[in-house]
Amino acid sequence: MNDYSRLDFEKLWRGRDKVTEVECGIILSMLEENRRNRVLELGAGNGRIGSIISDYCGEYFALDRINDFLKKCGQVKRLAAFNRICGDMMSIPAIDASFDVVIMVRVFNFLSDPGTLLRELKRVMTDDGVAIISYFHSGSLASVIDYIDHDCEKASRQAGQKIKGIRQILRSNFDEYFYSKRYFRRLVRDAGFKIIEERVCGLEDYSILNTLPSKIFVGISGIAHPFGFIPHSFVKLGKDR
């Protein structure tokens, strides 16, 4: 299991505000205003996303396993509507159908059992609720660079499995799993979801493009999703059954 306790969010995100602006812009563009009553974010970390998105929601619940991260969710403007839950997303401490929206950003690739997570996420969503999940897929330029850069074969052997559609790499100290888009779609369908919308981003993280305004990246995110080289997909899901 990945140990996130020493993850230094400040260091990781220094100088990358544009990326957060684009990711929040995409999430907000996917959320209908009348459905933002109770929002749950899984793997919220230090509140990078929640401190912006919560301003546009009725109540915001940030869940993470590491309490020290949650304590740093300090930039939240409307603290009254911001709730911290220290817990395991594989067993969310909430009754069925508690949330209109469930958000999960930059977490999916680190899960060793995404099927269980998807079923748990679906349990806490209302019937007409939505989930917004981001993941990095295996076909992008960035993941090809990672593939060359890292010892994927060794990582696969350590995981004791090699499954078509999943590639596992070891980057820093974390296990990461990269999914093909097709495999991701199958996973969410098997868990009882339908895909409502897909957007892509990630180019804003490259210094050569970083000077462009974030609204340009948000603007093209909806039409650019067929282009496989753009690494970061945001997928809006609804319950199918």
Ligand X SMILES: C[S@@+](CC[C@H](N)C(=O)[O-])C[C@H]1O[C@@H](n2cnc3c(N)ncnc32)[C@H](O)[C@@H]1O
Binding site for ligand X (CB under 6 A): 4, 43-45, 48-49, 64-66, 69, 88-90, 105-107
Q: Which is nearer to ligand X, 37 or 67 (CB)?
A: 67
Q: Which is nearer to ligand X, 12 or 223 (CB)?
A: 12
Long-range contacts, stretch 61-69, CB < 8 angstroms, 24+ apart: 61/85, 61/94, 61/99, 63/87, 63/89, 63/92, 65/4, 65/89, 66/4, 66/5, 68/5, 69/4, 69/7, 69/9, 69/44, 69/45
Q: Please state the separation of Cα 115 from the chain's center in Å.
A: 15
103 Rama sector, left if φ>0, alpha if ψ -120 to 50, beta otherwise: beta
Q: Which is nearer to ligand X, 27 or 240 (CB)?
A: 27
Rounded to a whole number of angstroms, the minimum distance from the CB of residue 169 to ligand X is 14
Rounded to a whole number of angstroms, the minimum distance from the CB of residue 182 to ligand X is 24
Query: How far apart are the C-alpha atoms of 2 and 109, rounded to whole Å?
Result: 12
Q: Please state the separation of Cα 46 from the chain's center in Å.
A: 14
Rounded to a whole number of angstroms, the minimum distance from the CB of residue 164 to ligand X is 25
Q: Which is nearer to ligand X, 68 or 128 (CB)?
A: 68
Q: Which is nearer to ligand X, 15 or 226 (CB)?
A: 15
Q: How many CA atoms lie within 13 A of 107 on its CB side?
A: 23
Q: Which is nearer to ligand X, 64 or 198 (CB)?
A: 64
Rounded to a whole number of angstroms, the minimum distance from the CB of residue 64 to ligand X is 5
Rounded to a whole number of angstroms, the minimum distance from the CB of residue 134 to ligand X is 8
Rounded to a whole number of angstroms, the minimum distance from the CB of residue 241 to ligand X is 25
Rounded to a whole number of angstroms, the minimum distance from the CB of residue 117 to ligand X is 8
Handedness of CA 240, 162, 64, 172 (dihedral sign): negative
Q: Which is nearer to ligand X, 47 or 129 (CB)?
A: 47
Termini Cα distance of the chain = 31
